[in-house]
Structure formats: C-alpha cells, structure tokens
Structure 1
Amino acid sequence: MSMSERKLTPDLFRPANLDSNKSEEISKPSLSFWQDASRRLRKNRGAMIGLFAIVFIIIFSLIAPSLSKYGMDDQELMRANLPPKIPGLEKIGFLGVDGVDIRGVDQYEMKNVPKDQNFWFGTDPLGRDQWVRVWKGTQISLYIAFLAATIDLIVGVAYGGISAFYGGRVDNAMQRVVEVLYGIPNLVVIILFIIILDPGILSITLALVITGWIGMSRIVRAQILALKDREFVLASQTLGSTSGRLITKHLLPNTLGAIIVTSTFTIPGAIFFEAFLSFIGLGIQPPTASLGALISDGFRSLRIYPHLAIYPASIMCILMISFNLLGDGLRDALDPKMRR
C-alpha cells in the first residue's frame, strides 16, 4: 500500500514539546553600537595592519632618537654623506658599507671615520646622523597632522553644529563666512603668513586654524540638519531639554561616526600638506627637520646619495597608506548599512 493510499489516523500526530521559556531566549549576545563597530573593525585586516603601523611609528619616533649617541644637529664634515651601516649587517648591499656601491662616497671620508661609528640611515652632507633627523622629522610631521585633526574636532564640529542647529539667519551668516574662507587656497594663506612671519611651524599652524576646519564643519552641518527634525530629537525638545543638552546628548553622538572617519582622513592630508610646503621651501626651515624637508634635501642628490630621500619618503608613504586603510576600516565599521 502506497503512502497516498494509507489512511491518516490520530496516532500519527504527536504534540511538539515546546519550552515557553526558550521562546524569548536570545541566541546571540546583545551588542551596543560601539561594541559592534569595534568587532567589525577588528575583522578588517587592512585597518588593523594600518593601526599597528601607525602605533609602531608613533612609539618608535619617540624612542628611536635616543638609540643614537649623536644629537640632531651634531655636525662633522669628516663623516659627510656616509651610506647606511648597521652593526652585524655590513655585508648586505643596501644596509652596510662593505657591500654597498660607494662610488659617490669620498674614500678619504671613509678612511677617517672610526669603525665603531655606525649610522643606520647614513649621514647627510653636513655629517649629521640621518637616523636621528628622520625620526625627529617624523615627530614634527605627526605633530602637524594631529594638530590639524584637533582643529577639525574643536573648531569644525562646533561651527558646523551651531550653524545647523540654530538655522535661519544664523546659518545663512555663518555659511557665508565659510564660503569666503573656502574660496581662499591654503597656499595663498601660507604665503600671506610668510610675508608677516617667518616660514615654519607657526605659519602652518595659523593657516590650519583659519582654513583647515571648513571640510569638517560642512560634514557636521549636513549630519545635524538631517537629524534635528527626527522624532527622538523632537520628543526630547518637547520634554523640555535645553539646546545644549540636545546638541551634546542627541545630535553630536549620532554624528560621531562621521566625525571620527573625517578626522582619520584629515591626518594624511595634513602630512602631505606639510611635506609639500617643505618641499617647495615654504614649510619647516633648517635646522628643524620634517619628513617633507628631509625629502626635499635628499631630492637634490637623489642619484648620488639615494638613502637621504628613500628613508623619509618610505616612512611618509607608510603613514599615509596606514591612515587611509584605518579610515576605510572605520567608515565600514561605523556605517550601519555595511552590516552583514
């Protein structure tokens, strides 16, 4: 007898054993927004590699200069333009004197340098230790980069938030100021400050204070304009919340993801901005070193002494790539639309 011909009897049906307590059980642990973002960021290999490289370079830039017995401005023409030499690795071509092509190095200089003097990144035309100068220059470049991010966070967030929240005439007046400043190139602002002041960190800092926060203010303004008419903001306003509480408790926390991502992308832009100014002679001036200034000095003798430009350029490239990888990872982690 086939299954279609078999009669259905009540004994073929049995009630399922259902546990009412398990019907409300949550199979996965409950995660907050920041816990979920942190979990997704850790899964992004590129972002974690970038974060590791950034932390390593920051820590090493603080420690590395103390590993050399020479100061940043210790000059000795007898050891000018020496190639890199690392103890124990002298036989490797690009790391030691014995195996490196020294056609561009004066043999008289080589004979008059004591064997116990090791310069890991070589020396510059004035005989200064390039190892110390590169890592001190990294400190200066990172200072300017994080200064730009700080100005973004303080000035840009406050300006954009106030403009969007109050709207009306306040927004119109504040945005006209932004449009005027946005139409002035940073290079023109730098040149104006150089006419008044000397080229250096102060001129770059003032230029960033005047024009560096405009991009952040526009992003914050757009985010708050989209949020301030939402139901949770109107409900809080109906319950008597003050303007300050609405901004700090409801609006800014919901724009924090965009703020963090924008700040992360601001840092490599500031590093490149400083390097460009130093390369054309409008940035950091000797004897102070920065990555851009060191690349500019090394570019003049790139064919003869390539090590003078290779090391600072490599560190700057690693920093910019790492910050961009971290920024991409933060954007994906903080964007709810990217959840899978």
Structure 2
Amino acid sequence: MAEPDRYLFVPDDTPPRDALAGRRSVAFWSDVWRRFRQSGPAMTGMAILLLFIALAILAPMLSRYNYDQVDLLSTYQPPNATHWFGTDALGRDIWVAIWVGARVSLTVGLAAALCQMLIGVVIGCFSGLQGGKTDMLLMRFVDIMIAIPFLIWVSLFMLIMSPGITSIVLAFALTQWTEIARLVRGEVLKLKETEFIVASRSMGASALRLIGRHFFPNILPVVIVAVTFQVTNAIFGEAFLSYIGLGIQPPLTSWGKLIAGGIKEMRDNPYLLIFPSIVISATMLSLQLVGDGLRDATDPKLRR
C-alpha cells in the first residue's frame, strides 16, 4: 500500500505566467504567418514588393548609367538592348531613373506611414483610455484635421520648409494620422473594460504603462494592417504632389516626377509614361494585396 505522505506535496511544473504569455504571442504570430502564406494573392504581392525593393537597391548600382547622366546624342531613344526602358529628352536612362525614383517614393511612403502610426497610436490610446472630456476634445480635433483639405496643409508646409523628402514626410505624418487614431481608439474602448486592464489600473498602472504593456500588443495586428494601406496612400500622395510641382525637386527624382514628365511626352513618346505608370500601379496593387492578406490573417473570426 502506498504511503500517503508521498502525494501530499507535488512539484508545480506550470510555466510562469510571462512564459505562457510569450508562448501565446509566438503561437499567434506563427499562426498569422501560416495563414498569410496560404493566401496566393498576398504572397504574390509580397514577392513583387521584395523584387521592387531589390531592384531599387541594386539596379542603380549595377547599371553603367547614372539617373542624372545627360547624353544629348541619345535623346528619345525607344526601349532597346542598351536602354531597356528608353531615354528622355536629355538622354537619361529611364530604367535607372525608375529605380532611383523607387528609393525616394518608397522611403517617403514607409517613413510617413511609420510616423503616422506613432502619432495615431499614442493619441488613439490616450483618447480611448482617458474617456470623458479628454476623449471628446481629441476627437473634435481629429474632425477638424479631417475637414481641412490635405493640399492646404501641404501648401503651408511648403511655405515654411523647402520642398523635399523631409517636408513631404512631415506633411503626411502630421495630417494623415487621424484614421489610425480613430481605429486605435475604437480598439482601446473595447479593451479597456477587460479584466486584465481593469486589474492593472486598480494596481496603479500609469497610462503609458498600460499603452506599452497591454494595449499596444493587443492592437498591433490591426495597426499593421492600417499602416500597410497608409504606405499606399503616402506613395500615391507623393506622386500627386510631384505631378503638381509641390513634391520632390531636382536633382532628385521620384515616380511622380517621372509620370509628370511622361504625360507631357505621351503623344510622341508614350513609353516615358507607360513604364513608370506600370511600376507604381504594380506597387499599389501589391501593397493592397499584402494589406488584405494581413487583415485576413490577423482577423480572429477567421482563425481555425
């Protein structure tokens, strides 16, 4: 017969709470990646984006032409074995110019989207967490920001700062964070009444600690999806600003400037418009596909 004392004290093999939380986090992102890989359109979009990023880095370095290299003996050459995408009015190689422009356009898009994320997450979390008059005042401020057309903000920034990458990124970051702030506020309002948030607040956790420790990890999937679409908006916005003359200034180039130059030559040299338009359209479509894939992969309703 077994001795009863042998079973009075059983070692606790339960992992610590932090370890369990870490495992759940790893399991969540592993599941997100698994479901993202199962989406053919999303993986296609990611492959195109990675290809374009690689070309933006390597193509100008490997080419024997510089994007601003003038060759008056090679003006308006159609696509050929020497100049794959042809040349412009000054004999500059369009292939190299497109991928140098990709560096500028992608940098503007990514930098603007990240800045929008930081501002929008902080304001959205603070507004939803505080509630009351603070929430009302912040949301009314957001409404005012949305009501003022973007071109007015950009014009003000261009009067204060010289046109360039920095001013464009700041213009987008300081005016286009409102959508993320509203989205984050809605998520915080749903989370703030959950048990673990109420327990943390009752123990005296500060607003910054709640945002960094509890809210941000839980809203991160939603924010990532929103940022993906904001990159698309920023790239398109930069192209539009460059087209109307408020964007990137010489000697820099961007997709918007190339398209603006191609429109002027559309009748006689359509390739100057076709190739930049194809590249920027493919980038927009790829970002949309990746964003849709991330949204489906992080949607808890679709988890199996």
Q: Indicate whether the TM-score tops 0.5.
A: yes
Q: How far apart, in 1, do the equivalents of 2:38 and 2:154 lie?
A: 41
1: CA distance between counterparts of 2:112 and 2:159? 22
SS at match of 2:274: helix
Separation in structure 2 between the aligned mates of residue 334 and residue 167 of structure 1, nearest angstrom: 27
Gapped regions of structure 1 (runs ≥ 5): 1-29, 87-117
Structure 2 unaligned blocks of 5 or more: 1-23
Per-residue CA shift, 1:38-66, capped at 9, x if unaligned? 11111011111111111111111010001
In structure 2, C-alpha distance between the alignment counterparts of 1:203 and 1:239, rounded to whole Å: 43
Tell me the CA shift for residue 289 of structure 1.
0.8
Q: How far did 1:316 drift? A: 0.3
Distance 1:273 1:317 in 2: 13
Larger radius of gyration: 1
- Answer yes or no: is 1:186 the counterpart of 2:160: no
Q: Which has the higher helix share?
A: 2
Determine the structure 1 residue equivalent to 2:110: 146
2:78 equivalent to 1:83 = yes
Of 26, 36, 44, the residue aligned with 1:49 is 44
User: In structure 2, how many angstroms separate the alpha carbons of the residues matched to 1:210 and 1:244?
Assistant: 21
Residues 70 and 92, structure 2, Cα contact 8 Å, conserved in 1: yes
Matching residue of 1:120: 84
Change (3 A) 1:233 1:119: same
- The total of aligned residue pairs comes to 280
Q: State the structure with bigger RCO (CA 8 A, min sep 6), 1 or 2.
A: 2
Supply the AA of the counterpart residue of 1:160. Answer: G
Please state whether the residue corresponding to 1:32 is helix, strand or coil: helix
Judging changes above 3 Å, is the alpha-carbon distance between structure 1 residues 202 and 238 closer, same or farther for their aligned structure 2 residues?
A: closer
Cα distance per residue 1:156-179 (max 9 Å; x no partner): 111111111122232233223222
Pairwise CA RMSD = 1.7
* Whole-angstrom distance in 1 between the partners of 2:71 and 2:159: 34
Residue 329 of structure 1 aligns with which residue? 293
The 8 Å contact of residues 151 and 212 in structure 1, kept in 2 or not, is answered as: no
2:129 matched to which residue of 1?
A: 165
> Do the aligned residues in 2 keep the contact of 1:297 with 1:308 (CA within 8 Å)?
yes
Deviation readout 1:200-235 (Å, 9 max, x if unpaired): 323312311320211111111111011101122113
Residue 185 of structure 2: aligned partner: 221
1:132 aligns to what?
A: 96
TM score, norm. by length of structure 2: 0.87
- Tell me which amino acid in the other structure corresponds to 1:54: L
CA distance in 2, matches of 1:32, 1:50: 24
Whether the aligned pair in 1 keeps the contact of 2:113 and 2:173 (CA below 8 Å) is no
Deviation at 1:240, TM superposition (A): 4.6
TM-score by length of 1: 0.78
User: In the superposition, relative to structure 1, how do residues 197 and 240 fare at CA in structure 2: closer, same or farther (>3 Å)?
Assistant: closer
